[in-house]
Structure 1
Amino acid sequence: MTNVNVEQLAAAVDSGMGRTISSLEQLVSIPGIAWAAFDQQDLVRSADAVAGLIRELGLEDVQILSVPNGESDGGPAVVARRPAAAGKPTVLLYAHHDVQPPGDPSLWKTEPFKATEIDGRLFGRGAADDKAGIMVHLASLRALLEVLGDDFGVGVTFFFEGEEEAGSPTFRSFLETHRELLRADAIIVADSSNWKVGVPALTTSLRGLVDGTVELRVLEHAVHSGMFGGPLLDAPTLLARLIATFHDDDGAVAIDGLVSAPAASVDYPEEDFRRDSSVLDSVQLAGTGSIADRLWNKPALSVIGVDAPSVELASNTLIPAARAKISLRLAPGQDPDRAMEAVTAHVAAHAPFGAQATFVPGERGQAFATDTTAPAARSALWALEQAWGTQPVEAGMGGSIPFIADLTEIYPQAQILITGVEDPDSRAHSANESLHLGDFRNAVLAQALLLARVNEEGI
C-alpha cells in the first residue's frame, strides 16, 4: 500500500489549473516552428517563454542549449535541473516546445496561434502536441512542491526539445554532448495519446520505421506516346504495378522477412477506428487479425510521395522514369536493418517487364516495448487509475518516435515511460488541433501521483 495522499495532490492540481491553462495559452500564442522556411526567432521566443515558466517554479539551474546542425545550430532546447536528495532517484521529464506549421488557415475554425476554449476543449496549434506535455511536467511539480515541500526529494530534470516536429535532427548529438546533464533513472516522455476521452493509456509499444525511395526506369528519354505506346509501358504504370506487389489481396504487407509481434491484449473496435480515422464508409479495411494488432503489432507500408509529371503539366509522352517514397512501419522485435534488406530484395525481385528498379534506403528507427512489470511502469499505471478513476489501457502506438531508440541506447538502465494528453479527436498536426481540458487535468494529477510514489518507494 502506498501512503501517497491522492486527495491533497488533487486539490493542489485543481487550485492551480487556472494558472496552468493560462500558461499553456501563453505558449500556444508563440508560433515556434523549427522548419527553415519559418522565422526562427519565434522558436527562440518559445524557448525563452518555457524557461521563464520553469524559473517561476523556483528552479535556478535553467539553460537554453543547442548543438551544431551543419552550418547552423539545432533547435533551442530548454534544460533545467532540481538535484535529487541523498538516496533518491532522478527522473527526466521530456516534451517539446516546437510545433507543426498551421497549414491552410481556412481549415481552422479558430486562430491557430490564439488558444480558444470551446465546449471543454482548448483549440490551437501546439495546445495538445506538445505544449500541453510541457505544462503537465511543470504543473505536476508545482503541485508536488506545494503538498510535499522539502519532503519531495526526487531529482527532476526538464528536457524540452525545440526541433521534434522537424525530425529531431540533432537529438542524438545533443544527448551525446550532454550525456551526464540528462542522465536519469527513469524518463517520462509526454508526447503520446490516451485511449479515448475519459480513459487513460500508457503507451507500451511503438512501431519502428524504415523509409526510402523506389526508383524505376524504362527509357533513356521520353518518347511520343502515339508513336511508341503499345509495345512500351510508361514508368508510372510499371511503378504502380511494382507498388501493388507490396500488399497481398487482403491488403496485408507482402514483403518476405518482416515479423509480427505477439497479439494485443485489448481490442480496438472497428467502428471506433472508422470514426477516429475518418475513413469513408465504402472503404474496406486492409489486413487480417484484430484492428489493434494491425495498428501496433504488424508491419504497415504506405506510399507517401510520388515523382511523376503533374496532371497540369502532362503531355502525350511516355514517361521514362518515376519514383515513389515509401514509409514502412515495423512491429516491435523487427530489426530495421533486416527490414531494409527485405524491401531492397523485394523491389529487385518484382521489377515488372524487365524495368530497372532499385530501392534507395532512407531513415531507419527501432521499435520500442515497455517492460510493464518494472517498478516505474507499475507506478504509472497505478497513478493513471487514481487520476481518471478508471483502469488504464496498456496501448501500443502505430506510429514511431525515433528518438526513443536514442534514449534507450544512451541510457540503457533508465526505465522509459511514454504518456500523453492527446485523444483520438485532438487532431495533432492537422487543422483544429485541440486539447480536452478534463483529461489535461487528469494527466497533471497522474504525473504528480507517479512522482510522489517514486519519492516514497523509489524506482
Structure 2
Amino acid sequence: MTSAHAEIPQNKQGHSGDTPVDALTRAVDDSFEATMASLKDLVEIPGIAWPSFDPAELDRSAEAVASLVKAAGMEDVRILRCDKADGTPGGPAVVARRPAAAGKPTILLYAHHDVQPPGDRSLWNSEPFVAEERDGRLYGRGAADDKAGVMAHLAAYTAATKVLGDEFGLGVTFFFEGEEEAGSPTFRAFLEEHQELLRSDVIVVADSSNWKVGVPALTTSLRGLVDGTFEVRVLEHAVHSGMFGGPVLDAPTLLSRLIATLHDEEGNVAVAGLVGRDDVTVDLTEAEYRADASVLDGVKLAGSGTIGSRLWTKPALSIIGMDVPAVDVASNTLIPAARAKFSLRLAPGQDPEAAMDALRQHVESNAPFGARVTFTSGERGNAFSTDTSSAAARVALWALGESWGVQSVEMGIGGSIPFIADLLEMYPAVQILVTGVEDPDSRAHSANESLHIGDFRHAVLAEALMLARLNAEGLAG
C-alpha cells in the first residue's frame, strides 16, 4: 500500500547524529559542476542496445562510464557481458566492487547506461544526443533515464568517501547495466554467472521517479508486465475490394473489433481473471494527471476508482503497435491479415503466466466473425512491492526528506522493472530500494526527455546521506 506520509527515522537524540549533513552538502555542491559536465558527456553518446543500432556506441558508453568509476576511486572496475540465447553478445555492463570492512554491510548501486532510440527527431526541440540546458532542466536522450542515475550513484559515493575518508567502511558495488532498454535479455544469466560478485545486503535501483518537482519519493510498488502479439486472418491473400468487398470484412476491421473487446464501456480492462485493487492512500487529482500525461481537452479519462489505483494497482492494457498497410502505400484491396502488439501492465500480486493465459483465452474466445486468431506470447515480468519498515527503507526515507527539506512520499509506479524479481530470487534476504531522478515531466522514452537539475542535485545529496548513515549505523535499525 502506498502512503502519503513517510515516517522519518531519527536517532535517539532526534537529529542526524553521526551523519555529517553539512559537510556532505558542501561536498556535493563543490563537485556539482563537474558532475553535470560528466552527465552531459554521457548524454552525447548514443549507446543503444537494440540490434538495429551501432554496437560500437554502446561499447563507447560503457568505456566512458568505466572511466568515471575509476575516477571516483574504484580500483576493481570491469566491463562484463553474457551471450544472449542466440549466441550474440549481450550489452556491456560496468561492474566495480569495494569490499566491506568488518561488520559493515554491502550496498549495490544499480543504474543503466544504455538509452532508448531517439524516435522521430522532428519532435525534439533540440538534438537528442546534444545535452542542452534550458529553464533549469537538462535535455537529451538519457538525461533522466538513466544516465542521471549513473551519475547520482557516482557523485554520491564520491562525496561520501571524500567526507568520511578512512571512516568509510561500507561495501559498495556499482552495477551499471548496458541493455535495460532492450529488455535486459541477459540479465538473469549475468546474475547467475556473477552471483558472488554482485552479492549485497542492500540494492538501490536508481531508475524511477519522484512525486513531483520539489517532492521526493521512494517507489514502493511497480506493476508487472506481459506483452506479445495477436493476429487476425480472414483471407489467404489480398483481393480486390470492389470485386469481393461486402460479404467478408477485412482483417483491420476485425482486428479493431477484437481490440474493442479488451475494455468495457468505462475503459476498465475487461479480461477475466486479472488481479486489481483500489486501495491507494496517496493519489493524483484529475487535473494533475491530465497535465502530467498531456491529455487533450475533452478526452474523458478511462476506468473507474482512484487515479492512483488505475496507475499502480490495477491492470492497464495498451495496443502499442499494429501491422497494417500504411495510408500512403495502401492499395484498394481487402487486407487478409492484421496484427497488433499488446502491453499488459499487471497489478502487484498478479502471476504473469496466469495473466498471459487469461489474455490468450480472451482473444481466442472473442474472435470476430470466426476469424482465425493467432496469439503469440512475449516477455513476462513480475510486479514488485517493498516493505518500508526495513532498516534500509527507513534510512532512505530519512535521507530523501533531509535533502529535499520536505517529507518523502511512498508511491507506486505504473511502470515495470522486471529484473527486480530476478534479484529477489537470487538474493532473497536483500533489501531493495527503488529511487530515481525523474519527475512527471521528464518524458523518459519520449521526445524532449529532460532532467530537473535542482532535483538531480537533491538526489545526489540524498544518496550521499544514505551511504553515510548506513556506514555509521548499518542495518540494525
TM-score normalised according to structure 2 size: 0.93
Percent identity between the two aligned chains? 69
CA distance in 2, matches of 1:287, 1:109: 33
Other-structure match for 2:346: 330
1:373 to 373, 386, 389: 389
Following the alignment from structure 2 to structure 1, what is the Cα–Cα distance between the partners of residues 268 and 190?
A: 38
Tell me by how many angstroms 1:446 deviates.
0.6
Aligned AA (2:133): E
Aligned to 2:70: 55
Deviation, 1:262, is 5.0
Q: Is the 8 A contact 2:278 2:305 kept in 1?
A: no
- 1:453 maps to 469
- How far, CA to CA, are the matches of 2:377 and 2:39 in structure 1? 40
Aligned mate of 2:270, from 246, 254, 257: 254
Please state whether the residue corresponding to 1:46 is helix, strand or coil. Answer: helix
> How has the CA–CA distance of structure 1 residues 38 and 349 changed in structure 2, closer, same or farther, with 3 Å as cutoff?
closer
Q: Whole-Å Cα distance in 1 between the matches of residues 52 and 275 of structure 2?
A: 39
Runs of 4+ that moved beyond 3 A: none
AA of the residue aligned to 1:32 = G
**Do the aligned partners of 1:261 and 1:332 also contact (CA within 8 Å) in 2?**
no
Q: How does 1:52-451 map to 2 (within 5 A)?
A: 52-69=67-84, 70-261=86-277, 263-451=279-467
Aligned counterpart, 1:12: 27
For the residue of structure 2 that corresponds to 1:273, the secondary structure is helix
* Residues 244 and 183 of structure 1, relative CA distance in 2, 3 Å threshold: same
Q: Which amino acid aligns with 2:90?
A: G
- Provide closer, same or farther for how the CA distance between residues 291 and 177 of structure 1 changes in structure 2, counting only shifts above 3 A: same
- Give distance in 1, aligned partners of 2:428 and 2:92: 25
Work out which of the residue numbers 44, 53, 71 in structure 1 matches 2:59. Answer: 44
Point out where structure 2 has 5 or more consecutive residues left out of the alignment: 1-10
- 2-structure distance, mates of 1:26, 1:155: 28
Against the structure 1 CA distance between its residues 29 and 259, is the aligned structure 2 distance closer, same or farther, given a 3 Å change threshold?
same
- Alignment RMSD (CA, Å): 1.4
Q: CA deviation at 1:337?
A: 0.7
Preserved CA contact (<8 Å) 1:32 1:44: yes
Deviation string for 1:215-257 (max 9, x for gaps)? 2222333333333332222222111111111000000000110
- The answer for the alignment partner of 2:38 in structure 1 is 23
1:173 Cα shift? 1.0
Q: Which amino acid aligns with 1:222?
A: A
| 3-state DSSP of counterpart to 1:72 | coil
Report if aligned partners of 1:261, 1:333 keep a CA contact under 8 Å in 2.
Answer: no
Letter in 1 for 2:454: G
Q: Count residues with an aligned counterpart.
A: 459
CA contact (8 A) 1:343 1:359 kept: no
- Alignment TM-score, normalising by the size of structure 1: 0.97
Q: Which amino acid aligns with 1:95?
A: A
Asked if structure 1 preserves the Cα contact closer than 8 Å seen for 2:278 and 2:306, the reply is no
Task: Work out the CA distance in 1 between the residues paired with 2:471 and 2:462.
Answer: 14
Structure 1: segments with no counterpart, 5+ residues: none
Offset of residue 343 of structure 1? 0.7
* One-letter amino acid of the structure 2 residue matched with residue 374 of structure 1: S
- Larger mean Cα displacement after TM superposition, 146-155 or 327-336: 146-155
- What amino acid maps onto 1:194 in structure 2? N
The 2-side partners of 1:47 and 1:227 are apart by: 58
Judged with a 3 Å threshold, the aligned counterparts in structure 2 of structure 1 residues 5 and 300 are, in CA distance, closer, same or farther, namely same
TM-superposed deviation, 1:111:
2.9
Say which SS state the counterpart of residue 322 (structure 2) adopts: strand
